[in-house]
Chain A
């Protein structure tokens, strides 16, 4: 697998382990919250700071399950914290986390937030 793909799968596995929700390294055909989806970020690949290296950027969409607002809100904070700690401890950089928003999935709204993650790769 490519270095870019390995990093993407690794991020999905780390977030899955830290948050106990299903982590996808791709956009699944049918999204069933709660889940975490790792997608290419923008800019996806850019020049790195050492010779021959690149910086890859990913987004992790953390989507909460169907629950009361109070439960979803505190649950999202907990899950974000778990995911960020797991990613930082494995050497990934967190650029930012978006303001939580309602993601429309299967005609229902789910509380979500997007983490922007970067890592150094050497293809």
Chain B
């Protein structure tokens, strides 16, 4: 039986800093690139564009992910995404790496309520197909 990935750990580095602890949801997905499809693209199943959809807590602490997105909107940085939360990639627990463009400035605020905790969702578009690191 294959080992399932659970949502209890994660490594999510952008520009060399790990922001995993602020994240509430991280998905690396892909969609139709929207551009003209070449015959090579078609032979590989069509041109695809990869992107991150990230939800995280809102925090204006200097070291927070929210603050990082706010300060670096539009910049292209390297990323390392480890769904297993492991430091060193292996064949069974690989890392996904590449470069990504930081998304738009994040939302701030939410619904009233003493116990309400604000979150935001952002999208980072990858510059290329992610590299699967296994060692």
Q: Which residues of A contact B (CB under 8 A)?
A: 47, 49-53, 88, 93-95, 118, 122
The answer to whether A51 and B23 touch across the interface, beta carbons within 8 angstroms, is: yes
The answer to whether B20 and A93 touch across the interface, beta carbons within 8 angstroms, is: no
* In the A-B complex, the 10 residue pairs with the closest CB atoms: A93-B115, A51-B10, A50-B24, A49-B24, A51-B20, A51-B23, A52-B9, A88-B114, A52-B8, A51-B9
Whose C-beta in chain B lies nearest to the C-beta of A92? Answer: B115
Question: In the docked arrangement, what's the CA distance between A104 and B115, Å?
Answer: 32
The answer to whether A53 and B114 touch across the interface, beta carbons within 8 angstroms, is: no
B22 at the interface (CB under 8 A from A): yes
The answer to whether B8 and A50 touch across the interface, beta carbons within 8 angstroms, is: no
Within 8 A of A (CB), among B51-67: 56-57
B7 at the interface (CB under 8 A from A): yes
Whose C-beta in chain A lies nearest to the C-beta of B11? Answer: A51
The interface residues of chain A lying within 8 Å CB-to-CB of B8 are 47, 51-52
Question: In the docked arrangement, what's the CA distance between A95 and B24, Å?
Answer: 21
The answer to whether A94 and B115 touch across the interface, beta carbons within 8 angstroms, is: yes
B27 at the interface (CB under 8 A from A): no
The interface residues of chain A lying within 8 Å CB-to-CB of B20 are 51-52
Whose C-beta in chain B lies nearest to the C-beta of A49? Answer: B24
The interface residues of chain A lying within 8 Å CB-to-CB of B24 are 49-51
Question: In the docked arrangement, what's the CA distance between A94 and B8, Å?
Answer: 25
| Contact string against A for B residues 96-135, beta-carbon threshold 8 Å, 1 for contact and 0 otherwise | 0000000000000000001101000000000000000000
